[in-house]
Every structure is written in structure tokens, then in C-alpha cells.
Amino acid sequence: MKWSTRTQYILFLTTLHGVLIFLVYKVLFQDKVLFIASEVFLLVSIVFSIRIYQNFMRPNEFVKSGIEAIKDKDFTIKFVPTGKGEVDTLIEVYNLMIDQLREERTKLNEQHYFLEKLIAASPISIIILDFDDRIASLNAKAQILFKVPSENLFGKTLEETGLALLAELGTLADGDSRIVKTNGVETYKVQRSHFMDQGFRRSFLMIEELTAELLESEKKAYGKVIRMMAHEVNNTLGATDSILQTTRNFLDTDEYAELNEALRIASERNQRLTRFMRNFADVVRLPSPTREPIDFGQLVQDVALFMQSFAEGKGISLSFTPIESEVPLRADAGQMEQVLVNVIKNAIEACDAGQRVELMLAPHQLAVRDNGKPISTEQSIQLFNPFYSSKPDGQGIGLTLSREILVNHGFAFSLKTGEDGWTEFVVEF
């Protein structure tokens, strides 16, 4: 059994004064004067022992009170000097320590508050993981990006969230960055890093959306090239076709029939090339949408009826599932009609005879789906790149034009093949 210093001191004084009392008692029967003097000495000794004990215990009381205050994280308590040297030295050290702790805590709180505000107001999506790489928190921008209540993501790993973007980042190591493209359109720059929390590493993700900037830079780049090409080609083809037509008029005899036919073919080729360049130029010259109230459901039904004969000619079943109520929408009817024609035409061309194309309309969404040729992972990344086409004779203009129209309207869209084998083009408005 280990006794404290306080207990040992009390036992020592009790034993010492017990012995003194016994000795004084022995003196009582021998010398009265010495007995009285011994009693006075014993009384003074007891008083001094008690004073020394109190002085001995006072620093302990200060230390104990200070420890309790520190445990309670109360850094406002300070002690007043007592006038006793040893105790005042201890009080001075304690007060200095409390001042420093209070300053450090205030500084840390201010930094923590500033960091929370900075993360919350950041235009970049930030996801903070816990020690087990599970989502612990995410800022407002990330909640807007994923369109999922934050409570549904807390405590899950990136792969468990069910979000395509986060699932691709599960293998990203601390310090790495990556450009990720989802649904062929939305592009993000993702960087993973870490910080120290209670001596352990915690990771976080910064996700910056680059879609708008990339689309704008792409449009400027290919727009400049197309304008230059259209100018040179149209000028050349116009003059060339004029010469060909004039030459055909001079050679309009049986003697030059074969040469005249060759010139006719060359002229038609010039005209097709002119139309080809006009299609490219249409993407660059696409005007801003003129938004007007329209019944989008009626527009989809009209386009489906218009494309019905094209589908039947290929042996494809084209069906439209309307909804009972109107679907009011502020949009450019002409441009949205062009999008619908392009998307339905692509779906039909992806099918073989006997397969189906279905149009499914909801109050805030349109899905054009087909069970034709699926889109590979490599193709899905390239689909909405300017003038990319998976068809041998395709120009890639339809999807590029559709992308520009939907982006200008501010409508979200995606094109992918699901696990069930159906390919869906979804527009959300």
C-alpha cells in the first residue's frame, strides 16, 4: 500500500507529538516547572506544525483547482498572489500558462471558424473523409453537385455512395489529381490530399467543375477553324461550280455526253461539300434560344409522329408514352425540335430491324431509349466531343448541335447504356 505524502506527514507529526506528550507526562511527577515549560513547548510545536501543514497544502490546493479548471477547459480562472514566495511563484507560473493556453485556444478557434467559413463558401466541391475513408462532411457546393441529401452520404465509402463520379475516385491516392468526365459532357478536375487530425491522417477531395470553361474554349477553337474553312471552301466551290456549269452549257451535245456527265457529277459533289460545310457552320452560328412558353409534351408527340415513317422504313418500332397533363416549358421550340429529331434519328440508326425505340415523358424529364447497339465505355467518353461520330459516314454534327442547344437552355442531359442493355438519352428540364 502506497501512502501519499500528506498522509505520511500527518502520521509523522502525530507520532512525534504522541511521544512528546508521553515524555511530558513522565516529567509531571519529577519537576512541575519543567512540566509547564514542556507543555508550552508542546503547544507551540502543535501550532507551528498545523501552520506548516497549511502552508504545505496550499500549493496543492492551487494545483488541484488549476487541474480541475484545465480539465473543464476553463482558461479564465487565475489566482491572486498570497504574499508567500513559494506559492506566489507557483501562481505566477500557472497564470502564465493559462494566458498562453487561452491565447492558443482563441487562435485555434478563430482559425477553425475561418476554415469552416472558407470551406462552406468555396466554389469548389469539398468532401472530407474520416479516419476509415468514409464521408464525414461535405460543403454546400458538393451538396448541390451531387443533388443528394448529405445525410445519405455520411458514413459511406466513395464506392458505396452509388454516384458514378465518386466511384471513379475510390482508387485515387493522396496527392494525386485526375480529370474525370461523366456522361460524356460533365468534366471535373479532382484532387485528393490529407491533413493531420489528432495525430492521424485524414483525406479530403476537392472537385472542380470544368464543363462550362471547356465547352466555351472548345467552341471558340472549332468556331474559328470552321469559319476559316467555310470562307475558303465556299469561295472556291462557288467559283468552281460556276465554271463547271458554264462548261456543261458549252458541251451540251451528244459528242461530249460522257464529259458532260462527269462534270454533272463533279458539280453535285461540290454542292454536297457546300451543304457539308453549311452544317458545320450552323453549329457556330447557332443563335441564343428564344424562350417562349410551349407544351413540350405536344412537341415531343409531333416529332415522334414525324419520325414514325423513318422508323417503319427500317423495321423499327417507335413508341411514345405521353402523360395526361401538359408539360409547360419555356424554351425555343425550333431548337428543341432539332434536338429531338437528332436524338430519335440516332436511336433509330443504332437499332436493327425488330428492335424498339421508346420515348418516355415525365413532368421534368424526357428519356429516349432503345435496345439497339450499346455504347461502349470508350465511346461514352467521346460522344459529346465536337464532331465525334461512331458511324463510318457520320460527321458528328447532330450530337454537337444538340449539346450546344441543351447547354444554352441550361438543361442537364446524359447518354449512356444501362446494365439492362438499353441506351438512354435523358434530358432534365
For the domain spanning 292-428, the CATH number is 3.30.565.10
User: How many Cβ atoms sit within 10 Å of the Cβ of residue 372?
Assistant: 21
Query: Exposed, middle or buried: residue 111 (CB in 10 Å: 0-12, 13-18, 19+)?
Result: exposed
Res 95 pLDDT > 80: no
Q: Where are the domains of the chain?
A: 5-74, 122-209, 213-284, 292-428
Q: Which of 187, 185, 207 is nearest to 385 (CA)?
A: 185
Would the pTM count as exceeding 0.95? Answer: no
The x, y and z cell numbers of residue 413, run together, are 442531359
Instruction: Render pLDDT for 310-360 as a digit per residue (tens, 0 to 9).
Output: 888 899 999 988 877 888 899 988 889 888 988 999 899 889 889 999 999
Instruction: Render pLDDT for 199-227 as a digit per residue (tens, 0 to 9).
Output: 788 888 888 877 666 666 666 666 666 66
Confidence at residue 316, expressed as pLDDT on a 0 to 100 scale: 92
Domains 122-209 and 292-428 share a fold: no
- Give 80's DSSP letter: P
Name the pLDDT band for 162 (thresholds 50, 70, 90).
confident
Cα distances from 232 to residues 236, 242, 361, in angstroms, run: 6, 16, 44
**Chain-centre distance for alpha carbon 160:** 16
Instruction: Render pLDDT for 244-288 as a digit per residue (tens, 0 to 9).
Output: 777 777 777 777 777 777 777 777 777 777 766 666 666 666 677
Phi, psi of 77 (to 5 degrees): -80, 125
Buried b (16+ CB within 10 A) or exposed e, 390-411: beeeeebbbbbbbbbbbbebeb
The x, y and z cell numbers of residue 94, run together, are 500557472
Q: For strand 125-129 and strand 200-209, is the pairing parallel, antiparallel, or unpaired?
A: antiparallel
Domain 122-209 bears CATH identifier 3.30.450.20: yes
Average pLDDT rounded to a whole number, residues 367-386: 78
Task: Evaluate whether 368 touches 346 at the Cβ level (below 8 Å).
Answer: no
